[in-house]
Structure 1
Amino acid sequence: MISKWCKKNGLETKSQYHPNLVNEDETVTRSDREIFNSLLCKVSSSNLQDQKSAAKELRLLTRKGTEFRALFGESPDEITRLVNPLLHGSNPDEKLQEDVVTTLLNISIHDDSNKKLVCENPNVIPLLIDALRRGTVATRSNAAAAIFTLSALDSNKVLIGKSGILKPLIDLLEEGNPLAIKDVAAAIFTLCIAHENRSRAVRDGAVRVLGKKISNGLYVDELLAILAMLVTHWKAVEELGELGGVSWLLKITRESECKRNKENAIVILHTICFSDRTKWKEIKEEENAHGTITKLSREGTSRAQRKANGILDRLRKAMNLTHTA
């Protein structure tokens, strides 16, 4: 997933940049180290113009190749020096904030060691939360992308989830800026792979935001995949019922041309069907009118077929109980 994101956004990965090298350190020259140390001195100085010029250069250098990303991974102190200008004052310079956040993103892409180092720095996650809340659109998008990248590590998923970062991500998702929304969705999805983060996302209002956008046909591919994970939480099922989710989930199941969307919709409907018997009538009416679920049980993905058959079986048993009574 991350390699696809890098390719889409024009970032070099280690294998792209030096495919035949085994020892990454061999690519770091003495000149690289001198430039690196000089830029860190400038970015952590008290002069705003020096900070801005150094941050811009570090952003470019960590984007173009792996050498400077590797240098950041040598010590946690280097990360602290990078973010230092954003730790003082309540209103950071917008361009400086954007360049520092984007450099953090570039560093995190390098390898798992860098991801761990960046995420465990006590300054980074609060800085990213602040960037999500009040950065430029580009800064907020890159902050979300950094969270997505850092969350590739399971230990980071838990650490980031505990920080309270899901709420600003969900708020940004609700705003719906097209330049940021896919990075935000990717970050939320990756964080919610960790089960404990699903309850946090539900608590922070994700179901309402996701439901509203999906029902309006916005970013259905990305958001439906998140919702399919969240319905493992009972509160998400309850909220979907209150939001009238069954009707638009049935519509997706019936009308979507995307097999993955049909699968995710029927997965959610299956959970609703087995958790809330008050929705059986609406599902049965859809089946009687269009044969939607029967069709999916024959033509969907293997997972979709299993879930569709599970719903049909539940509806048949409900009918038998009614007739018996």
Structure 2
Amino acid sequence: MLIMAAGAIGNIVEVLELGKTTEARENAAAAIFSLSMIDDFKVAIGGHAGAIVALVGLLIEGTTTGKRDAAMALSNLALYRANKANIVAGGAVQLLIELLMDDKAGITDDALGVLALLLSCPQGLEDIKKSRALVPLLIDLLRFGSAKGKENSITLLLGLSKDGGEEVTRRLLIRSLAADGSPKARRKADALLRLLNRCCSQSHNPV
């Protein structure tokens, strides 16, 4: 079955890229999402030059279901390091941030998950840092987002603060999350607080 699926990847990607209807392309994205759960297929799918570009395109053109399938497929593919740069090069970062600002899109948690993965890619970090809208969005999501959304928001804030971001000093919100979030979210919140405290100490006590 896996051999048959591997042989079908090229055909599925072709439909994803060139399908005549949005429905056909979205069905292909759903298939890619399922296949991308398998490690070997992450490499194979990423090896098709147009696959990632087509998935990014669905973030713009797809229905809510299509956008979610595309985002989840990108999330799976981003677990393979070599795919991350291609996802960033395809323009995914700005589109994902725009989806965070669009309540009607309905894929906030999925978009956050992809951004959190792209943070570890140098090109991804650079694109994420360029957005002036992201940090205020993340702060709002810390207050009103889902448990998973809060966790990924902390991951992004940690990454930005480690890179020298100054906007991530909203400690009360982080403390609130540490009290109410999941154990994993509390650990990340505590790590962010410690990091921010060190940054503040260094700025007030320069060498």
TM-score norm. by structure 1 comes to: 0.58
Aligned residue type for 2:33 = F
* CA–CA separation in structure 2 for the residues paired with 1:201 and 1:127: 21
Q: Identity of aligned pairs, percent? A: 29
Structure 1 position 228, deviation (Å): 1.4
Say which of 116, 123, 131 aligns to 1:243.
131
Other-structure match for 1:307: 188
Structure 1 position 171, deviation (Å): 0.9
Do 2:52 and 2:87's aligned partners in 1 also have CA atoms closer than 8 Å? yes
> Superposition RMSD on alpha carbons, in Å?
1.7
* CA–CA separation in structure 2 for the residues paired with 1:318 and 1:221: 29
Structure 1 position 116, deviation (Å): 3.0
CA gap 1:264/1:319 in 2 versus in 1, 3 angstroms: same
* CA–CA separation in structure 2 for the residues paired with 1:116 and 1:149: 15
1:33-112 alignment, distance < 5 Å: none
5+ residue gaps, structure 1, are 1-113
- The number of equivalent residue pairs is 201
SS state at 1:193 partner: coil
Other-structure match for 1:175: 61
Which digits, 9 at most, give the CA deviation of each residue in 1:255-283, with x for residues without a partner?
22x111101111111111112x1x22x22
Other-structure match for 2:97: 211
Other-structure match for 1:56: none
Other-structure match for 1:184: 70
Larger RCO (alpha carbons 8 Å, 6+ apart): 2
Do 2:56 and 2:92's aligned partners in 1 also have CA atoms closer than 8 Å? yes
Structure 1 position 211, deviation (Å): 0.8
Say which of 180, 194, 203 aligns to 1:322.
203
* CA–CA separation in structure 2 for the residues paired with 1:227 and 1:170: 13
SS state at 2:64 partner: coil
Larger gyration radius, structure 1 or structure 2: 1
SS state at 1:146 partner: helix
* CA–CA separation in structure 2 for the residues paired with 1:178 and 1:216: 11
Structure 1 position 213, deviation (Å): 0.7
Say which of 16, 25, 48 aligns to 1:132.
16
* CA–CA separation in structure 1 for the residues paired with 2:65 and 2:159: 33
5+ residue gaps, structure 2, are none
Aligned residue type for 1:250 = I
* CA–CA separation in structure 1 for the residues paired with 2:4 and 2:135: 43
Structure 1 position 159, deviation (Å): 1.1
* CA–CA separation in structure 2 for the residues paired with 1:160 and 1:308: 35
Structure 1 position 179, deviation (Å): 4.4
Do 2:143 and 2:173's aligned partners in 1 also have CA atoms closer than 8 Å? yes
Other-structure match for 1:116: 3
* CA–CA separation in structure 1 for the residues paired with 2:48 and 2:14: 12
1:141 and 2:40 correspond: no
Which digits, 9 at most, give the CA deviation of each residue in 1:100-155, with x for residues without a partner?
xxxxxxxxxxxxxx233232x2xx44432332233212211111111112222211
CA gap 1:138/1:310 in 2 versus in 1, 3 angstroms: same
Other-structure match for 1:253: 142
Do 1:138 and 1:179's aligned partners in 2 also have CA atoms closer than 8 Å? no
Runs of 4+ in 1 over 4 A off after TM superposition: none
